[in-house]
Amino acid sequence: MEFIMFPILFIGVIVLFSSFFTVKQQTSVVIERFGKFMSIRNSGLQLKIPIIDRIAGRVNLRIQQLDVIIETKTKDNVFVKMKVSVQFKVIQEKVYEAFYKLEYPHDQITAYVFDVVRAEVPKLKLDDVFERKDDIAIAVKRELNEAMMAYGYDIINTLVTDIDPDIQVKNAMNRINAADREKTAAEFESEAQRIRIVAKAKAEAESKRLQGQGIADQRREIARGLVESVEVLNNVGINSQEASALIVVTQHYDTLQAIGADTNSNLILLPNSPQAGSDMLNNMVASFTASNQIGETMKNQPKRSKKKDDHTSTDYNPSDTSNEVS
């Protein structure tokens, strides 16, 4: 009898322990009884009838991501590869629909993504695809939500993560971008050159204005000094005409002294008269004439010869033959 009870107890313990099972967090378990749906169990320690009930499957409730790569053509006949990332999850209240109504959710989502992208991208040019990729992602999400909600799936977000045109198109775009950058750089350089020219012109204008103001101030001070000099001379009994003449003579000698102090000066002073230039020219002609006459006279003078014996010299005259030896 004991031999019979021991196996029965052992089997009973195994059956008892097999009745308990655990469900992980963010997971739901579908229980079937004799092949028919019985219940859905959530996270924690759960109990089922051994042999009669069985675990049909486990449904993941966490957010999942599916990356779909689509090749399509734009409105301007450029082939592009686009990568669309879809984030989705199973709605906890619709685990039954997600488990029984849709067997391959990834394939279903991929098909809808292909359909929407290939319907939206051919309406846009390549540049517009880059600019409106968020609009494409919104269109994909809207279409997926309408289709997948009935199967117990919630589309959290869709992202267009990559747009890859053909290699030749990318090279052409790079050349266009490089040309645009060079054009922009040339425009900035021209603007900088214009600013430098304007600044230089303004500086030169300001310099000339200040220079003119300085000359005007200098002339005012000279005039003020002359007026004061005339007043001083008037105070000692010299009238204005005599004072002006005296000032002119004084300035004349001051100028001569300043010129004489410069050893490298080649300045020629002319007399202050209308005939000064003509008189100087006549004097120069007379000087050149006298110089030429003196030169000719010196050339026509007889040369002197010296004798080595008596160290005496006689004038040599070619026309004089009295000294010839017979």
Whether residues 49 and 72 fall in one domain: no
Mean pLDDT score across all residues of the chain: 79
What pLDDT score does 185 carry? 83
CA distance 44 to 200: 84
Residue 150 within a domain: yes
pLDDT digits (tens, 9 = 90+) for 243-283: 666 666 676 667 767 766 666 666 666 565 666 667 666 76
Whether residues 80 and 156 fall in one domain: yes
pLDDT digits (tens, 9 = 90+) for 143-197: 899 889 989 999 999 999 988 888 877 777 778 878 888 888 888 888 888 888 8
Residue 161 within a domain: yes
What pLDDT score does 315 carry? 47
pLDDT band at 34 (very low <50, low <70, confident <90, very high): confident
What pLDDT score does 324 carry? 41
Whether residues 71 and 43 fall in one domain: no
What residues contact 210, with CB distance under 8 A and at least 6 apart? none
How many domains is the chain partitioned into structurally?
2
- Domain range for residue 119? 64-165
pLDDT band at 27 (very low <50, low <70, confident <90, very high): very high
- Out of 41, 60, 79, a domain closes at 60
Whether residues 99 and 148 fall in one domain: yes
Overall pTM surpassing 0.75 (yes/no):
no
Residue 244 within a domain: no
Whether residues 95 and 143 fall in one domain: yes
Whether residues 22 and 102 fall in one domain: no
Whether residues 95 and 147 fall in one domain: yes
CA distance 160 to 136: 8
What pLDDT score does 69 carry? 92
Contact 147, 112 (CB under 8 A): yes
- Range name among 72-86, 114-128, 310-324 with the lowest pLDDT average: 310-324
Residue 72 within a domain: yes
pLDDT band at 326 (very low <50, low <70, confident <90, very high): very low
pLDDT band at 308 (very low <50, low <70, confident <90, very high): very low
- Out of 141, 165, 189, a domain closes at 165
Residue 256 within a domain: no
What pLDDT score does 312 carry? 44
Q: Enter the tokens of residue 283.
A: 């004097």
CA distance 200 to 241: 49
pLDDT digits (tens, 9 = 90+) for 61-96: 999 999 999 998 888 888 889 999 999 999 989 999
Q: CATH number of the domain that 128 lies in?
A: 3.30.479.30
Residue 320 within a domain: no
Residue 81 within a domain: yes
What pLDDT score does 275 carry? 66
What pLDDT score does 165 carry? 86
Whether residues 69 and 46 fall in one domain: no
What pLDDT score does 218 carry? 77
- Out of 60, 76, 95, a domain closes at 60
Whether residues 68 and 53 fall in one domain: no
Whether residues 23 and 76 fall in one domain: no
Residue 49 within a domain: yes
CA distance 24 to 142: 32
